[in-house]
Amino acid sequence: MLLYATRRFGLALLILIVAVTVMFLMIRAVPGDPVQIMLGPRATPELQARLTAELALDQPIWKQLLIFYGNLVQGDLGIDVFSGRSVTAIVFEQLPHTLALIFASILWSALLGIGLGAYAAAHPNTLIDRIAAALSVSFVAAPAFVVALLSLLIFAVHLQWFPAIGAGEGFWGRLDHLVLPAFAIGLSWVGYIARLVRASMLEVMGESHIRTARAFGIHERRVVMVYALRIAILPVVTVIGVGMGFLLSSAVFAEIVFARPGLGKLVIDSITTRNYPIVMGSVLISTGLFVVSTALADLINAWLDPRARTAA
Amino acid sequence: MAKSRSELGQIVTGVARDPLGLMGLIIVGTIVFCAIFAYWIVPFDPVGMNIKDRLQGPSWTHLLGTDQLGRDTFSRVIAGGQVALQVALPAVFGAMAIGLTLGMIAGYGPKWLDNLLMLFFDTIRSFPTVMFALAVVALVGPSLQTVVFVVMATSIPTYGRVARTQTLTLRNSEFILAERSMGASMKRILGVHMLPNIVGVLAVLAAMDIPTVIALEAGLSFLGLGVKPPTPSWGALLKDGYSLIRQTPWLVVGGGLPIILATLGFTFLGESLRDVVDPKLRKQR
């Protein structure tokens, strides 16, 4: 297990290093003076000179990359030229809003999806199973930002059940503001998770330890809920870990539609004001988040199911 | 083992026999038809302004109402389908072609090249798609080409990985071993014997990938970072609709429904295709 964990995190680190290098080269590959691009229309000669020195642009490219990594390891993603504050601080200020949204979305969709999938698997080929299957496919098909817009139109503007914009104040206010965005992001996951759980449940139900449990006269509900479901939800862990990237992407749109603070809104606002250090900082941090969550999901999976350790 | 015409006919019949597949065929067929003949179908010029008739509700003249510049929403929805496919098809085919080539090289080539390509795939996949798209748009500016590039770059790994797995499996199959022992060249083995066995699987993947691509184009255009106005994209419709959501609901409905329909259509079609072409794939998802 330790060996697997070391190797898995080694791979994650390697991927991160390559990804950061790609990002770094991408900025340099854009034609024109990088300082000019980063500063945009606000470039004054003093600022330009300062940034040139900071980024070590007068040095050879491999040295620039090393300096970039050096700063990165210390958590230094550069200075926002607009406000003079550190990019890391600005990004981490917005991150909790996005994370709260993502967790709320995945929580309700996983609970409902697992329930729906388990029920459908326990009663295969009944009417409810059919309806659940049809709903799953339809839910999977709906892109989060379209759902977000339509739910904004129906539940906030038309019915006025929920607030349309902002993040809210206090616990209940925040929760109230979280409902619609979390609904929009989670909806397609409900169907996906339900299908996944149903399929893996049906597979598990045919295995011998379930037959043994039944032979011991254990109540059917207990067999399904405890013995089968515990194994059947394993793929959900992986899918959520790998799905972190999709969730982040959906969160960007939900934040724009509902005018919520967060990473997505920060990036979009920074693009419109051509604030490149913030855009790059946010992309790097969200990429890091994604890589770590994928690795964690693999680890949890390997911990729960020893067979997965040898597969990688 | 190239798919002959009768085999293609069998696949189409198989898909049409499945109710969901038939629905997918009809939806996708309608969208493609509307996109090809958009110029003849639209009742009004999709970019023609008519300030006098702005922000109208649905009527027989304007089936889905008009926007803030008096443009006919229905005409813009039809023309938007054209833009969606203009992005989706080249992006998906490009990604498929590159992914197929790289995947086959990874599967058939030396181990170090395989490792290198897998690292490349894993790295691209490590960027959250929209975040990567935003970074690229921030650097090179929004345009139709940028969207196509981003979509292509982010979906190459999916095709590459599947092509690699297929190549690895085929590599040790008896008919390939037989070919090799008879002295067939690598070009012949890869091109004549392996390729046809991999393309089918990738085609299914492509059909399922198109909705993602359409949604991404619409999403970027919604953020104002995709196609430029006044080009009628579904995402641009939603962008206008969002800012006018309290005045008229019809723009959001007109922009949102075709995206959901297109996604549904291609998903149904893809799933049905998968079941017909290769039932084994069902488990891999």
A283/B122 CB distance under 8 A: no
Given CB atoms, is B152 within the 8 Å cutoff of chain A? no
**A245 pLDDT above the threshold of 50:** yes
Residue pair A151/A74 in contact by the 8 Å Cβ criterion: no
**B2 pLDDT above the threshold of 50:** no
Predicted pLDDT at A153: 74
Which residue in A74, A107, A77, A70 sits closest to A92, CA to CA?
A77
Q: Which of residues 241-270 of B touch A (CB under 8 A)?
A: 241-242, 245-246, 249, 252-253, 256, 259-260, 263-264, 267-268
Q: Which of residues 34-63 of A touch B (CB under 8 A)?
A: 37
**B98 pLDDT above the threshold of 90:** yes
Given CB atoms, is B69 within the 8 Å cutoff of chain A? no
Partner residue facing B245 (CB), from A152, A268, A286: A152
**B65 pLDDT above the threshold of 50:** yes
The mean pLDDT value for B104-130 works out to 84
A9 C-beta neighbours (distance < 10 Å), count: 16
pLDDT confidence tier of residue B284, bands split at 50, 70 and 90: very low
> Cα–Cα distance between A258 and B175 in angstroms, integer?
57
Query: Residue B191 has what DSSP assignment?
Result: I
Q: Which letter, b or e, does each residue of A184-210 get, where b requires 16 or more Cβ atoms within 10 Å of its Cβ?
A: bbbbbbbbbbbbbbbbbbbebbeeeeb
Residue pair A266/A101 in contact by the 8 Å Cβ criterion: no
pLDDT confidence tier of residue A173, bands split at 50, 70 and 90: low
Predicted pLDDT at A137: 72
B134/A158 CB distance under 8 A: no
Mean pLDDT of chain A: 78
pLDDT confidence tier of residue B5, bands split at 50, 70 and 90: low
Given CB atoms, is A146 within the 8 Å cutoff of chain B? yes
Which has the higher per-residue pLDDT, B56 or B127?
Answer: B127
**A248 pLDDT above the threshold of 70:** yes
Which has the higher per-residue pLDDT, A99 or A72?
Answer: A99
Predicted pLDDT at A49: 76
Which residue in B67, B83, B75 sits closest to B41, CA to CA?
B75
Q: Token pair 């996906």 is at which residue?
A: A192
Q: Return the beta strands (E) in B128-274 as ranges.
A: none
Question: Out of A75-89, A263-277, B121-135, which region has the weakest mean confidence (pLDDT)?
Answer: A75-89
Count contacts between A and B (CB, < 8 Å).
Answer: 129
B138/A138 CB distance under 8 A: no
The minimum CA-CA distance between A249 and chain B, rounded to whole Å, is 5
**B283 pLDDT above the threshold of 60:** no
Q: pLDDT of A260-306, one tens digit each?
A: 888 888 888 888 777 777 888 888 888 888 888 888 888 887 777 76
Mean pLDDT of chain B: 79
Residue pair B68/B105 in contact by the 8 Å Cβ criterion: no
Given CB atoms, is B23 within the 8 Å cutoff of chain A? no
pLDDT confidence tier of residue B55, bands split at 50, 70 and 90: low
Work out the end-to-end distance of chain A between its first and last CA atoms, rounded to an integer number of angstroms: 12
* Helix, strand, coil in percent for chain B, rounding step 5: 75, 0, 25
The mean pLDDT value for B141-169 works out to 85
